[in-house]
Amino acid sequence: MSSMDEPPSIAAAYAAFWETLVGKSPHTVHTYRTGLTRFAEHLVERGLPLTSPTDDLPGDVLERFYTWLVRRYGRANRPTCTTYVAAARAFFRFLERRGWGPRAAHLERLQLGLRDVAGRGSYKTPRVDPALPLLVAAADERALPAASPATANLRLELLRDRALLRTLFCTGMRRAEVASLNRADLANGRLDQAIITGKGDKERTVFFDEPTLAAIRAYLQERADGFTPLFIRHDRARGKPRFGGENYRITTQTVFDTVKRYARAVGIDASPHDFRHEKATVLLNNGASLSEVQDILGHASPETTKKIYAHYETARLRDAFDRFSASPEDLVRRLGRDPRSPMPRNGIDGGE
Protein backbone atom coordinates (compact mmCIF):
# COMPACT_ATOMS: atom_id res chain seq x y z
CA MET A 1 0.00 0.00 0.00
CA SER A 2 1.48 3.38 -0.99
CA SER A 3 1.25 6.61 0.99
CA MET A 4 -1.42 7.81 -1.47
CA ASP A 5 -3.78 4.93 -0.64
CA GLU A 6 -6.49 5.05 1.99
CA PRO A 7 -5.01 4.73 5.50
CA PRO A 8 -5.24 1.18 6.89
CA SER A 9 -6.90 0.18 10.09
CA ILE A 10 -4.91 0.64 13.28
CA ALA A 11 -4.60 -3.14 13.57
CA ALA A 12 -3.24 -3.43 10.01
CA ALA A 13 -0.81 -0.59 10.69
CA TYR A 14 0.38 -2.46 13.76
CA ALA A 15 1.14 -5.51 11.62
CA ALA A 16 3.02 -3.39 9.09
CA PHE A 17 4.96 -1.71 11.89
CA TRP A 18 6.15 -5.07 13.26
CA GLU A 19 7.65 -5.85 9.86
CA THR A 20 9.91 -2.80 10.14
CA LEU A 21 11.38 -4.05 13.43
CA VAL A 22 13.14 -7.05 11.94
CA GLY A 23 16.53 -5.41 12.47
CA LYS A 24 15.85 -4.41 16.07
CA SER A 25 17.03 -6.35 19.10
CA PRO A 26 14.59 -8.84 20.70
CA HIS A 27 14.54 -6.62 23.81
CA THR A 28 13.43 -3.59 21.77
CA VAL A 29 10.76 -5.58 19.95
CA HIS A 30 9.43 -6.93 23.26
CA THR A 31 9.33 -3.43 24.75
CA TYR A 32 7.49 -2.03 21.72
CA ARG A 33 4.97 -4.88 21.76
CA THR A 34 4.24 -4.34 25.44
CA GLY A 35 3.93 -0.58 25.02
CA LEU A 36 1.65 -0.84 22.00
CA THR A 37 -0.49 -3.46 23.73
CA ARG A 38 -1.10 -0.88 26.47
CA PHE A 39 -1.76 1.74 23.78
CA ALA A 40 -4.36 -0.51 22.14
CA GLU A 41 -6.05 -1.02 25.50
CA HIS A 42 -6.17 2.74 25.98
CA LEU A 43 -7.74 3.28 22.54
CA VAL A 44 -10.41 0.64 23.14
CA GLU A 45 -11.25 2.15 26.53
CA ARG A 46 -11.53 5.51 24.80
CA GLY A 47 -14.04 4.05 22.34
CA LEU A 48 -11.73 3.81 19.32
CA PRO A 49 -11.62 0.20 18.06
CA LEU A 50 -8.54 -1.11 16.28
CA THR A 51 -10.61 -1.51 13.13
CA SER A 52 -10.71 2.30 12.86
CA PRO A 53 -8.48 3.90 10.18
CA THR A 54 -5.25 5.40 11.45
CA ASP A 55 -6.20 8.91 10.37
CA ASP A 56 -9.05 8.78 12.91
CA LEU A 57 -6.51 8.83 15.75
CA PRO A 58 -7.12 11.99 17.82
CA GLY A 59 -4.66 14.87 17.94
CA ASP A 60 -4.27 14.56 21.72
CA VAL A 61 -3.80 10.80 21.72
CA LEU A 62 -0.21 10.72 23.00
CA GLU A 63 -0.81 13.05 25.92
CA ARG A 64 -4.00 11.20 26.88
CA PHE A 65 -2.15 7.88 26.63
CA TYR A 66 0.52 9.19 28.99
CA THR A 67 -1.99 10.37 31.59
CA TRP A 68 -3.83 7.04 31.28
CA LEU A 69 -0.57 5.22 32.02
CA VAL A 70 0.20 7.43 35.03
CA ARG A 71 -3.25 6.75 36.46
CA ARG A 72 -2.78 3.03 35.87
CA TYR A 73 0.81 2.61 37.13
CA GLY A 74 1.17 5.61 39.46
CA ARG A 75 3.61 8.51 39.46
CA ALA A 76 6.24 6.38 41.16
CA ASN A 77 6.45 4.32 37.94
CA ARG A 78 6.93 7.21 35.53
CA PRO A 79 9.92 5.48 33.84
CA THR A 80 7.58 2.62 32.86
CA CYS A 81 5.05 5.12 31.52
CA THR A 82 7.75 6.89 29.54
CA THR A 83 8.97 3.60 28.05
CA TYR A 84 5.48 2.65 26.87
CA VAL A 85 4.91 6.12 25.40
CA ALA A 86 8.23 5.78 23.54
CA ALA A 87 6.79 2.70 21.80
CA ALA A 88 3.71 4.70 20.76
CA ARG A 89 5.92 7.53 19.49
CA ALA A 90 7.89 5.06 17.36
CA PHE A 91 4.58 3.82 15.92
CA PHE A 92 3.51 7.38 15.09
CA ARG A 93 6.84 8.09 13.41
CA PHE A 94 6.15 5.03 11.25
CA LEU A 95 2.65 6.32 10.42
CA GLU A 96 4.10 9.71 9.48
CA ARG A 97 6.60 8.09 7.09
CA ARG A 98 3.81 6.16 5.38
CA GLY A 99 1.44 9.11 5.20
CA TRP A 100 -1.00 7.35 7.49
CA GLY A 101 -0.91 9.78 10.42
CA PRO A 102 -3.91 11.36 12.16
CA ARG A 103 -5.82 14.05 10.29
CA ALA A 104 -6.11 16.05 13.50
CA ALA A 105 -2.40 16.69 14.02
CA HIS A 106 1.07 16.09 12.61
CA LEU A 107 3.67 14.22 14.64
CA GLU A 108 5.37 17.41 15.80
CA ARG A 109 2.16 18.70 17.35
CA LEU A 110 1.46 15.34 18.96
CA GLN A 111 4.88 15.38 20.59
CA LEU A 112 4.54 18.99 21.74
CA GLY A 113 1.31 18.09 23.51
CA LEU A 114 3.00 15.11 25.12
CA ARG A 115 5.91 17.24 26.36
CA ASP A 116 3.49 19.75 27.91
CA VAL A 117 1.80 16.98 29.89
CA ALA A 118 4.75 14.74 30.73
CA GLY A 119 7.41 17.41 31.21
CA ARG A 120 11.03 16.42 31.13
CA GLY A 121 10.66 13.85 33.86
CA SER A 122 13.24 13.09 36.48
CA TYR A 123 15.29 10.24 37.80
CA LYS A 124 14.99 9.28 41.41
CA THR A 125 18.25 8.68 43.22
CA PRO A 126 18.87 4.93 43.14
CA ARG A 127 18.84 3.47 46.64
CA VAL A 128 21.44 0.72 46.56
CA ASP A 129 22.02 -1.15 49.79
CA PRO A 130 25.71 -0.86 50.76
CA ALA A 131 25.52 -4.54 51.74
CA LEU A 132 25.14 -5.56 48.07
CA PRO A 133 28.62 -7.20 47.96
CA LEU A 134 27.35 -9.66 50.58
CA LEU A 135 25.46 -11.45 47.80
CA VAL A 136 28.74 -12.36 46.15
CA ALA A 137 30.23 -13.39 49.49
CA ALA A 138 27.18 -15.52 50.32
CA ALA A 139 27.55 -17.55 47.13
CA ASP A 140 31.29 -17.96 47.65
CA GLU A 141 30.84 -19.08 51.25
CA ARG A 142 28.21 -21.71 50.55
CA ALA A 143 29.72 -25.15 50.85
CA LEU A 144 30.07 -26.92 47.51
CA PRO A 145 28.37 -30.35 47.72
CA ALA A 146 30.66 -33.34 47.43
CA ALA A 147 30.98 -34.62 43.88
CA SER A 148 28.52 -37.42 43.13
CA PRO A 149 25.88 -38.19 40.49
CA ALA A 150 23.19 -37.20 42.99
CA THR A 151 24.65 -33.76 43.66
CA ALA A 152 25.98 -32.93 40.17
CA ASN A 153 23.25 -30.40 39.36
CA LEU A 154 23.48 -28.75 42.78
CA ARG A 155 27.24 -28.32 42.36
CA LEU A 156 26.80 -26.85 38.89
CA GLU A 157 24.08 -24.44 40.00
CA LEU A 158 26.21 -23.13 42.87
CA LEU A 159 29.26 -22.72 40.63
CA ARG A 160 27.07 -20.93 38.09
CA ASP A 161 25.63 -18.67 40.78
CA ARG A 162 29.12 -17.69 41.93
CA ALA A 163 30.23 -16.87 38.38
CA LEU A 164 26.95 -15.10 37.58
CA LEU A 165 26.96 -12.84 40.64
CA ARG A 166 30.61 -11.97 40.17
CA THR A 167 29.94 -11.13 36.52
CA LEU A 168 27.12 -8.77 37.50
CA PHE A 169 29.21 -7.13 40.21
CA CYS A 170 32.42 -6.88 38.18
CA THR A 171 31.03 -5.66 34.86
CA GLY A 172 27.81 -3.77 35.66
CA MET A 173 26.17 -5.50 32.70
CA ARG A 174 22.42 -5.57 32.23
CA ARG A 175 20.76 -8.89 33.00
CA ALA A 176 19.84 -9.42 29.34
CA GLU A 177 23.48 -8.86 28.40
CA VAL A 178 24.65 -11.40 30.98
CA ALA A 179 22.11 -13.99 29.83
CA SER A 180 23.28 -13.49 26.22
CA LEU A 181 26.97 -14.14 26.93
CA ASN A 182 28.59 -17.02 25.08
CA ARG A 183 31.58 -18.90 26.40
CA ALA A 184 33.46 -17.99 23.21
CA ASP A 185 33.08 -14.30 24.11
CA LEU A 186 35.60 -14.90 26.88
CA ALA A 187 37.48 -17.85 25.35
CA ASN A 188 36.23 -20.05 28.19
CA GLY A 189 37.42 -17.60 30.83
CA ARG A 190 40.85 -16.87 29.37
CA LEU A 191 40.06 -13.38 28.01
CA ASP A 192 39.66 -10.48 30.41
CA GLN A 193 37.35 -8.50 28.11
CA ALA A 194 34.52 -9.20 25.71
CA ILE A 195 32.69 -7.32 22.99
CA ILE A 196 28.94 -7.51 23.57
CA THR A 197 25.87 -6.10 21.85
CA GLY A 198 23.86 -4.19 24.40
CA LYS A 199 20.76 -2.05 24.51
CA GLY A 200 19.90 -0.41 21.20
CA ASP A 201 22.08 -2.91 19.30
CA LYS A 202 25.18 -0.94 20.35
CA GLU A 203 28.47 -2.76 20.72
CA ARG A 204 30.77 -2.10 23.65
CA THR A 205 33.64 -3.74 25.47
CA VAL A 206 33.10 -5.10 28.97
CA PHE A 207 35.96 -5.93 31.31
CA PHE A 208 36.46 -8.81 33.74
CA ASP A 209 38.76 -9.11 36.73
CA GLU A 210 40.69 -12.25 37.61
CA PRO A 211 38.42 -13.45 40.47
CA THR A 212 35.43 -13.33 38.11
CA LEU A 213 37.32 -15.19 35.38
CA ALA A 214 38.45 -17.80 37.91
CA ALA A 215 34.81 -18.37 38.94
CA ILE A 216 33.82 -18.72 35.27
CA ARG A 217 36.63 -21.19 34.58
CA ALA A 218 35.67 -23.28 37.62
CA TYR A 219 32.08 -23.41 36.42
CA LEU A 220 32.93 -24.34 32.84
CA GLN A 221 35.44 -26.98 33.96
CA GLU A 222 32.78 -28.63 36.11
CA ARG A 223 30.30 -28.52 33.22
CA ALA A 224 32.64 -30.38 30.89
CA ASP A 225 30.47 -29.69 27.83
CA GLY A 226 30.76 -27.77 24.59
CA PHE A 227 27.49 -25.86 24.76
CA THR A 228 27.53 -22.33 23.36
CA PRO A 229 25.95 -20.27 26.18
CA LEU A 230 28.15 -19.18 29.06
CA PHE A 231 25.39 -19.63 31.63
CA ILE A 232 22.93 -22.50 31.27
CA ARG A 233 20.14 -24.28 33.11
CA HIS A 234 20.91 -27.33 35.23
CA ASP A 235 17.42 -28.44 36.22
CA ARG A 236 16.11 -31.87 35.34
CA ALA A 237 13.28 -30.43 33.21
CA ARG A 238 15.55 -28.80 30.63
CA GLY A 239 15.21 -31.67 28.14
CA LYS A 240 17.72 -32.67 25.50
CA PRO A 241 20.20 -30.14 24.11
CA ARG A 242 19.49 -28.52 20.75
CA PHE A 243 21.43 -26.07 18.60
CA GLY A 244 24.60 -26.19 20.64
CA GLY A 245 22.70 -26.09 23.91
CA GLU A 246 20.95 -22.86 23.00
CA ASN A 247 17.75 -24.17 24.56
CA TYR A 248 19.67 -24.47 27.85
CA ARG A 249 20.59 -20.78 27.96
CA ILE A 250 19.38 -19.05 31.11
CA THR A 251 16.74 -16.35 30.79
CA THR A 252 16.72 -12.85 32.21
CA GLN A 253 14.22 -14.18 34.75
CA THR A 254 16.83 -16.68 35.95
CA VAL A 255 19.28 -13.83 36.49
CA PHE A 256 16.64 -11.90 38.40
CA ASP A 257 15.60 -14.88 40.51
CA THR A 258 19.21 -15.73 41.38
CA VAL A 259 19.89 -12.22 42.66
CA LYS A 260 16.64 -12.18 44.63
CA ARG A 261 17.40 -15.56 46.20
CA TYR A 262 20.79 -14.48 47.52
CA ALA A 263 19.44 -11.08 48.55
CA ARG A 264 16.85 -12.80 50.74
CA ALA A 265 19.59 -15.00 52.19
CA VAL A 266 21.59 -11.98 53.38
CA GLY A 267 18.52 -9.97 54.36
CA ILE A 268 18.54 -7.11 51.88
CA ASP A 269 16.44 -5.96 48.92
CA ALA A 270 18.38 -6.05 45.67
CA SER A 271 17.88 -6.54 41.93
CA PRO A 272 20.28 -7.19 39.03
CA HIS A 273 20.13 -3.51 38.07
CA ASP A 274 21.50 -2.54 41.47
CA PHE A 275 24.83 -4.00 40.39
CA ARG A 276 24.99 -1.37 37.62
CA HIS A 277 24.34 1.40 40.13
CA GLU A 278 26.94 -0.07 42.45
CA LYS A 279 29.51 -0.23 39.64
CA ALA A 280 28.89 3.40 38.79
CA THR A 281 29.17 4.34 42.46
CA VAL A 282 32.56 2.70 42.85
CA LEU A 283 33.91 4.05 39.57
CA LEU A 284 32.82 7.63 40.21
CA ASN A 285 33.93 7.75 43.82
CA ASN A 286 37.32 6.35 42.87
CA GLY A 287 37.92 9.04 40.29
CA ALA A 288 36.43 7.83 36.99
CA SER A 289 34.91 10.55 34.81
CA LEU A 290 31.26 10.53 33.78
CA SER A 291 32.26 9.86 30.17
CA GLU A 292 34.29 6.83 31.24
CA VAL A 293 31.37 5.47 33.26
CA GLN A 294 29.11 6.10 30.27
CA ASP A 295 31.33 3.98 28.03
CA ILE A 296 31.83 1.20 30.57
CA LEU A 297 28.11 0.82 31.29
CA GLY A 298 26.93 1.45 27.73
CA HIS A 299 24.70 4.49 28.21
CA ALA A 300 23.53 6.01 24.96
CA SER A 301 23.81 9.55 26.32
CA PRO A 302 26.13 11.14 28.89
CA GLU A 303 23.04 12.86 30.27
CA THR A 304 21.75 9.47 31.41
CA THR A 305 24.92 8.86 33.37
CA LYS A 306 24.89 12.34 34.83
CA LYS A 307 21.23 12.34 35.85
CA ILE A 308 21.28 8.94 37.48
CA TYR A 309 24.71 8.74 39.00
CA ALA A 310 26.26 12.18 39.45
CA HIS A 311 25.00 12.36 43.04
CA TYR A 312 27.32 9.50 43.87
CA GLU A 313 30.25 11.87 43.66
CA THR A 314 29.18 13.22 47.05
CA ALA A 315 32.32 11.94 48.74
CA ARG A 316 34.49 13.72 46.20
CA LEU A 317 32.43 16.88 46.51
CA ARG A 318 32.77 16.76 50.30
CA ASP A 319 36.53 16.43 49.94
CA ALA A 320 36.60 19.42 47.59
CA PHE A 321 34.39 21.37 49.99
CA ASP A 322 36.72 20.69 52.92
CA ARG A 323 39.89 21.42 50.95
CA PHE A 324 38.83 24.60 49.20
CA SER A 325 36.39 26.31 51.56
CA ALA A 326 37.58 29.12 53.84
CA SER A 327 36.22 30.35 57.13
CA PRO A 328 35.56 34.03 57.84
CA GLU A 329 38.66 33.98 60.09
CA ASP A 330 40.80 32.68 57.21
CA LEU A 331 39.59 35.42 54.93
CA VAL A 332 40.20 38.11 57.56
CA ARG A 333 43.79 36.88 57.94
CA ARG A 334 44.25 37.24 54.19
CA LEU A 335 43.39 40.89 54.66
CA GLY A 336 46.36 41.13 57.00
CA ARG A 337 44.35 41.57 60.17
CA ASP A 338 44.37 39.53 63.39
CA PRO A 339 40.82 38.22 63.71
CA ARG A 340 41.11 38.53 67.52
CA SER A 341 41.84 42.26 67.46
CA PRO A 342 38.92 44.64 68.04
CA MET A 343 37.21 45.95 64.97
CA PRO A 344 36.74 49.69 64.49
CA ARG A 345 33.32 50.71 65.70
CA ASN A 346 32.14 52.97 62.87
CA GLY A 347 28.60 52.61 64.08
CA ILE A 348 28.25 48.89 63.26
CA ASP A 349 27.10 48.07 66.78
CA GLY A 350 23.92 49.99 66.15
CA GLY A 351 24.93 52.91 68.36
CA GLU A 352 23.79 56.45 67.88
106 is catalytic: no
3-state class of 209 per DSSP?
A: coil
299 is catalytic: yes
Cβ proximity of 10 and 50 under 8 Å: yes
- The one catalytic residue among 24, 155, 199, 307: 199
Over residues 312-342, the pLDDT tens digits come to 555 555 666 777 777 787 777 777 766 566 6
- The one catalytic residue among 42, 160, 166, 174: 174
pLDDT at 63 over 50: yes
273 is catalytic: yes
- The one catalytic residue among 160, 204, 249, 299: 299
CA dist list (Å): 82 to 46, 55, 114, 280, 331: 20, 24, 10, 23, 50
**What's residue 338's pLDDT?**
65
Q: Percent of the chain beyond pLDDT 90?
A: 37
The pLDDT-based confidence of 64 (bands split at 50, 70, 90) is: confident
User: How many CB atoms neighbour CB 131 within 10 A?
Assistant: 13
Separation of alpha carbons 185 and 146, rounded Å: 30
3-state class of 198 per DSSP?
A: coil
Over residues 104-138, the pLDDT tens digits come to 767 677 777 677 666 544 445 556 778 889 999 99
84 is catalytic: no
The pLDDT-based confidence of 309 (bands split at 50, 70, 90) is: low
Q: Which domains does the chain have, with CATH numbers?
A: 10-118 (1.10.150), 133-269 (1.10.443.10)
Cβ proximity of 31 and 87 under 8 Å: yes
Over residues 156-180, the pLDDT tens digits come to 999 999 999 999 999 999 999 999 9
CA dist list (Å): 256 to 23, 143, 145, 262, 274: 27, 22, 24, 10, 11
**What's residue 298's pLDDT?**
84
307 is catalytic: no
Over residues 267-285, the pLDDT tens digits come to 988 999 899 888 887 887 7
For the chain, report the end-to-end CA distance as a whole number of angstroms: 91
| Nearest CA-CA partner of 165 in 229, 215, 214 | 215
199 is catalytic: yes
240/2: higher pLDDT: 240
CA dist list (Å): 128 to 75, 244, 334: 21, 37, 44
Lowest mean pLDDT, pick from 89-98, 170-179, 306-315: 306-315
- The one catalytic residue among 175, 276, 277, 279: 276
Write the CB contacts of 255 (distance below 8 Å, at least 6 apart in sequence): 164, 168, 175, 178, 179, 272
pTM equals 0.59
3-state class of 240 per DSSP?
A: coil
